[in-house]
Structure 1
Amino acid sequence: MINQDSIVALATPSGAGAIAIIRISGSEAITIGNSVFKSIKNKDLTKQKTHTLHLGHIIDDSKTLDEVLVSVFKGPNSYTGEDTIEISCHGSTYIQQQIIQLLLRKGCRMADAGEFTLRAFLNGKLDLSQAEAVADLISSDNEASHQIAMQQMRGGFSNEIAKLREELLNFASLIELELDFAEEDVEFADRTQFHELLNRIEFVLKRLIDSFAVGNVIKNGIPVAIVGEPNVGKSTLLNALLNEERAIVSDIAGTTRDTIEDELVIGGIGFRFIDTAGIRETKDVVESIGIKKTFEKIEQAQVVIFLFDSSEFKVSGLKLKIELEKIKNQFPLKPLVVIGNKSDKLSEIEIENLKSDIPEILMLSAKENIGVDELKNQLLSFVNTGALRNNETIVTNTRHYDSLLKALDEIQKVKFGLETNLSSDLIALDIREALYQFGLITGQVSNDELLGNIFANFCIGK
């Protein structure tokens, strides 16, 4: 499946910038690069050592396109495992296009999305889970997602899976050997040791599967719905959390007619805040649509912030408690943060009375930025960051999660087979399926459709 033709793509973001990098990889990459490059010291790129830099010009016939630096990487000691060159040119979009078009005329073709990393996988430079981590690393937008992607790209996850697969494969070989001597009724695999191995594999698989809940949150962010009656300060709170005027703030009830979303990183974890239309009875058709969307957003959110005007509690306290109970009953499993806003308008005695009436309340003044940091800490407490702090393997990829679930199911079938003295040939079938699922994660088992689906999500040039 490995294609030996030379591919080219812009490796830096499109658009004008200080510099741009154009990457070429393939069997003729250095030869093609040499055909358009004139070194200031008359060097022949094909005769240069790997991992060297060379200053010169890109020449199209007699026309000089740009002064550039060319990096030479000879296979297999390159990212793709093939001969590779990278041309660092000035970041003019015109210059970029002129150089790429010249290289296409010289025999390159435009790279497909993720084709450089695909070639790295096919040439054994990365396994499949490491290759997928490259895309996660590029898209990481907070400390936690970056840390997980780096760990996976360095092989933390794949090493753990490979070790389990190797141990299981050793026992599988012994089970398969028993089938060859079935008539002699001999056992080559120690059943006690095999059972201990299965217990250990089951434990590791369950830990990895459980980590997906945290990993998915870290990778995609935690949606947090801010709900409450109109004009209690939801938009002001959103602006205070984001430290910018993102939402429209006014004294007119119902100003927020639609949901407003924005993101904030707290302690390395991404939170996606959703400021919703207020909850109240209304005859306004447009506002009614917004209120309906509020409940839809609560359904989608993982955490709910219920905000009310603490200065109005004496007047509307009973109605507030009814709304609060309604949300608790409708969404009993969702973490709920109850916030009394505008606490700067209350006396110390009034605040204490309110805390006595609603024990879980968090007093806050979004306008004066009082209590905002305490809210951030409470939101962070909903995320189990223990595994992240301990540098444990965390699963973030849905494909890996699915294969781990299937592998666990097969391991449990093998355990049941051992405990019930199932015949070796049937146990062997379940072991093979477990090995297959492990292989899907690391790429030891793959097909064109699987690879196409994975690398189609990469950017061009990577």
Structure 2
Amino acid sequence: MSTIAAIATGNAAGGIGVIRISGDEATAVADRVFKAMDGSLLADLGGYRAKFGNVIIGGQPSDNAVALVFKAPKSYTGEDVVEISVHGGLLIVQKTLEAVLDAGAKPAEAGEFTKRAFLNGKMDLTQAESVASLISAQGEAGMKASFNALQGSLSDKINSVLQKLLDMSALMSAWVDYPDEEIPELEEDELLSTLKECEAELDELLQNYDNGQTVIDGVDTAIVGMPNVGKSSLMNMLVGRDKSIVTQIEGTTRDIVEESVRLGDLVLHLRDTAGLRESDDVVESIGIDKAYKALDEAQLVLAVFDNNKPLQKQDREILEKAKSKPAVAVINKVDLEQRLETDEIENAFAKVVYICAKENKGLKELSSAVEELLGVQDFDTGAPMLANLRQRQNCQNAKENIAEAIGGVEMGVTYDAVNVMVDSAVEELLSLTGKKATTEVVNNIFSKFCVGK
């Protein structure tokens, strides 16, 4: 394969910027743009060695740099790799990359370094996909779960199920193909027990899928309520600064204000909406329509009520709409006299939290309520976890194939027919880990990575 290069650090000024080069000619290309202070060549270095020197751009030394050499196969990609670290100004990083490309490297495609790692057997497809999850993780729990997947937690689980299916398939094939040989009889009870065990393990992965996505991707959350109940104050309390304008004037928030925040181990993608009421104001009415749409689309609703006012018509509308959604009732202004009929709210919502957003009181209780409502309060970041819809679909298909095999055994279907169903499950799991994934699937996965990774 050709030698490729790309900027491996973010597109922003920083302390350093790293240009990664990978391929058979990595050290030769790097030697054309990097000159060590002691005059040595990177091509003569062993792996895991570094040199301090200058990068040469347009024939002139242009920056101090450190070049780090990795030798195949003990590198990220499994190929020879050189990483040149220069000062992190956007211009010098870009100019260094251009010099590397002029020296013979080709621009890396999106995700090409990790794709080469996969193709060279440094990781399977589930681990490769966990790289993208780790990069995009916004909460600590999501970060830990993604790292454990990178370390092989999902791979180990799938391979364990695979081995059981393969061993069973081999026994059934031998029993069918060599009936006259002295092959130990395959007991039906043992066969059913193994199949049901595999089905249960895959079912556990599927059951945990939604929780895993919630932890890694975060939750689209709508803050809804009537004007002046404290939606914007709640938004500001969650964000930790004045994100939304707070006044005593009804209708202050007219458009949706968005922000992502950490709440416990979760990331909430918040949308502070316009107060829900009847309005003749054209602009405010548009904001109210957007608020109802946000409520309908949200994965989580924080329905805010004013402890100091009786329930209004619009309060009850929100109450009815929220019944069909994962929703927490947030009763605000508990520092004021209670005039709110809380019994009606507590009967309608699974979780009710009492807060004083103005004084930043109740955040811990809200965090606990949200985690319990979404079922992630005891989320195990070390447990195997399906990372995306592709993995989920392969796992679902494999489980269905195994269920068919169980039904076949129970109905007395011949072992060769049962084995076809088991083989179908095996194919799905091999596709999940990438051992039999199509070229189209592999290319599609890595096309979604950033360039440089």
1:258 and 2:255 are equivalent in the alignment: yes
Tell me the CA shift for residue 16 of structure 1: 3.0
Match of 2:395?
404
Letter in 2 for 1:90: H
Match of 1:279?
276
* Change over 3 Å in CA distance of 1:231–1:329 after alignment to 2: closer
1:445 and 2:436 are equivalent in the alignment: yes
1:304 and 1:335 in contact (8 A); partners too: yes
Q: In structure 2, which of residues 44, 47, 66 is the aligned counterpart of residue 69 of structure 1?
A: 66
Tell me the CA shift for residue 275 of structure 1: 1.6
Q: What whole-Å deviation, never above 9, does each CA across 1:336-386 have from its counterpart, x for those lacking one?
A: 33333222221xxx47x8556755654332222233332233223223236
Tell me the CA shift for residue 106 of structure 1: 2.1
Greater shift in the superposed pair: 51-60 or 199-208: 51-60
* Change over 3 Å in CA distance of 1:105–1:298 after alignment to 2: same
1:158 and 2:149 are equivalent in the alignment: no
Q: Distance in 1 between matches of 2:39 and 2:177?
A: 66
Match of 2:220?
223
Match of 2:46?
49
Q: In structure 2, which of residues 383, 396, 411 is the aligned counterpart of residue 392 of structure 1?
A: 383
Tell me the CA shift for residue 323 of structure 1: 4.3
Tell me the CA shift for residue 286 of structure 1: 2.8
Q: For 1:311, what is the secondary structure of its paired residue? A: coil
1:148 and 2:139 are equivalent in the alignment: no
Q: Distance in 1 between matches of 2:344 and 2:137?
A: 43
Q: Distance in 1 between matches of 2:344 and 2:110?
A: 58
* Change over 3 Å in CA distance of 1:177–1:328 after alignment to 2: farther
Tell me the CA shift for residue 133 of structure 1: 0.5
Q: Distance in 1 between matches of 2:419 and 2:346?
A: 58
Q: In structure 1, which of residues 127, 130, 133 is the aligned counterpart of residue 130 of structure 2?
A: 133
Q: State how 1:400-439 maps to structure 2 within 5 Å.
A: 400-439=391-430
Q: For 2:325, what is the secondary structure of its paired residue? A: coil
Match of 1:378?
369
Q: State how 1:84-99 maps to structure 2 within 5 Å.
A: 84-99=81-96
* Change over 3 Å in CA distance of 1:17–1:224 after alignment to 2: closer
Tell me the CA shift for residue 10 of structure 1: 0.7
Q: Distance in 2 between matches of 1:254 and 1:263?
A: 23
Match of 1:17?
14
1:257 and 1:286 in contact (8 A); partners too: yes
Q: Distance in 2 between matches of 1:125 and 1:184?
A: 41
* Percent identity (aligned): 35
Q: Distance in 2 between matches of 1:141 and 1:221?
A: 8
Q: What whole-Å deviation, never above 9, does each CA across 1:407-437 have from its counterpart, x for those lacking one?
A: 1100000101111111233222211210111
Match of 1:170?
167
Q: For 1:395, what is the secondary structure of its paired residue? A: coil
Q: In structure 2, which of residues 274, 288, 293 is the aligned counterpart of residue 296 of structure 1?
A: 293
Tell me the CA shift for residue 61 of structure 1: 7.1
Unaligned 5+ runs, structure 2:
none
* Change over 3 Å in CA distance of 1:179–1:90 after alignment to 2: same
1:21 and 1:87 in contact (8 A); partners too: yes
Letter in 2 for 1:428: N
Q: In structure 2, which of residues 240, 245, 248 is the aligned counterpart of residue 243 of structure 1?
A: 240
1:387 and 1:394 in contact (8 A); partners too: no
Q: Distance in 2 between matches of 1:234 and 1:94?
A: 44
Match of 1:195?
192
2:353 and 2:369 in contact (8 A); partners too: no
Q: What whole-Å deviation, never above 9, does each CA across 1:120-151 have from its counterpart, x for those lacking one?
A: 00000000000011111111111011011001
Give the count of matched residue pairs: 449
Q: Distance in 2 between matches of 1:394 and 1:358?
A: 36
Letter in 2 for 1:450: V
Tell me the CA shift for residue 188 of structure 1: 5.2
Tell me the CA shift for residue 271 of structure 1: 1.5
Unaligned 5+ runs, structure 1:
none
2:301 and 2:322 in contact (8 A); partners too: no
1:388 and 1:394 in contact (8 A); partners too: no
Q: Distance in 2 between matches of 1:341 and 1:97?
A: 51
Q: Please provide the CA RMSD for this pair.
A: 2.3
Q: Distance in 1 between matches of 2:45 and 2:13?
A: 31
TM-score scaled by length of structure 1: 0.90
Q: Distance in 2 between matches of 1:276 and 1:62?
A: 57
Tell me the CA shift for residue 161 of structure 1: 0.1
1:35 and 2:32 are equivalent in the alignment: yes
Q: Distance in 1 between matches of 2:59 and 2:242?
A: 55
Tell me the CA shift for residue 112 of structure 1: 0.3
2:371 and 2:377 in contact (8 A); partners too: no
Q: Distance in 2 between matches of 1:435 and 1:29?
A: 39
Letter in 1 for 2:357: A
* Change over 3 Å in CA distance of 1:323–1:157 after alignment to 2: same
Tell me the CA shift for residue 326 of structure 1: 3.8
1:148 and 1:394 in contact (8 A); partners too: yes
* Change over 3 Å in CA distance of 1:15–1:262 after alignment to 2: closer
Match of 1:205?
202
Q: What whole-Å deviation, never above 9, does each CA across 1:248-301 have from its counterpart, x for those lacking one?
A: 222221222222222221222111222222222222333233222222222222
TM-score scaled by length of structure 2: 0.92
Match of 1:340?
331
Letter in 1 for 2:146: A
Q: For 1:77, what is the secondary structure of its paired residue? A: coil
